[in-house]
Amino acid sequence: MAKIKDPGFGYKTAASAKRMVNSDGSFNLRHINKKFSVSEIYSRLINMSWMRFIMLIFIWYGVLNLLFASMYYVIGVEHLTITKSTPYQDFLHAYFFSAQTLTTLGYGLISPQGNTTALVSSIEALIGLMGFALMTGLLYGRFSKPKAAIRFSDVLVLRPFKEKRAIMFRLMNKRVNVMIEPEITVTLAVNDIDDKGNLARKFFKLSLERDKIMYLPTTWTVVHEIDEKSPLKDYTDEQILALNAELLILIEYYEDDFAQNVYQMHSYSFDDLKGNSKFVPAYYFEESGQAILDHSKLSEIEKYN
């Protein structure tokens, strides 16, 4: 009964308490009175979706151009080498001049003639170059950030296994590359009554048939056998299926594409546990002897008997 100390969540809980870890691996926690930290801007710019990131660049470009266009307009478009026209057209000219300056295009059809305009435009060009330098870094940071790419089966299964029973889930590499030495830790968290009669969380590290393999080319079925040492040994299948419990999973491996160790968190609620089921093979051989891995079969289960 490998009951363990709190892995970092605390024993405190509430009858109404929600799951600790969302199924995407993030903590289910609301932060209040948090101080703003500059380094989180980078995190956000790196982690937002590509759609939002590109929109942000366009907005930044448009707003900065409007700002500088206004300055050129206020200084006076007569300080640009362009014939004065309607206010609307003048502002457009100032806007295009700004865009041609910010990007360091500098066609020259519209050029700065007055000293103030020339000074502002020299500063705008510097700001543009700083912005594009930043964008370069962010684009690289977005692409090169090592991301774990484990895909977990949607469900857990509970099934007979070697004269006893076992809880199993399956995982695989989303990508085609090589995952080296994946190692997994599975912690069971259940709410229970503690010594003082209060509701408290209990944590158990589940023993696994294997918790480390050398490579992960295909799928890996992670197996917790419910033997005499398992915290679940005294429960019937029905009781296990009805438990208000959570499996906290931490997997680490060496990601060859980024040449780094990466971690991935995951969580299964026992609502996802299916009784008397087994996973359908996702890996098989063609007649030619060629090995095939079918990504669509990861979560596919069938009746055990």
SS3 78: helix
Find the shortest distance in angstroms from Cβ 275 to a second copy: 25
Using CA atoms, how far residue 1 sits from 230, 231, 232, 246, in Å, is 6, 5, 9, 17
CA atoms within 13 A on the CB side of 178: 6
Q: Is 200 in the site for a second copy (CB under 8 A)?
A: no
Residue 288 sits in the site that holds a second copy (CB under 8 A): yes
Taking the least distance from each CB to a second copy, the nearer of 121 and 153 is: 121
Of residues 102-131, those binding a second copy (CB under 8 A): 103-109, 111-113, 115, 118-119, 121-122, 125-126, 128-130
Q: Does position 141 bind a second copy by CB under 8 A?
A: yes
196 near a second copy, rule: CB under 8 A: no
Q: From residue 144 to residue 183, what is the string marking binding to a second copy with x (rule CB under 8 A)? A: xxxx-x------------------------xxxxx-x-x-
Interaction between residue 139 and a second copy (CB under 8 A):
yes
Phi first, then psi: what are they for 34, rounded to 5°? -80, 135
- Please provide residue 11's backbone torsions phi and psi, each rounded to the nearest 5 degrees: -85, -20
Minimal distance, residue 123 CB to a second copy, in Å: 8
Rounded CA separation 99/237 (Å):
68
Minimum distance from residue 91 beta carbon to a second copy (Å):
11
**Which residues touch 200 (CB under 8 Å, ≥6 apart)?**
11, 12, 13, 191, 192, 193, 194
Residues from 213 through 232 that contact a second copy (CB under 8 A): 213-218, 220
Whole-angstrom distance, CA of residue 115 vs CA of residue 126: 17
Tell which one of 85, 136, 198, 239 touches a second copy (CB under 8 A). 136
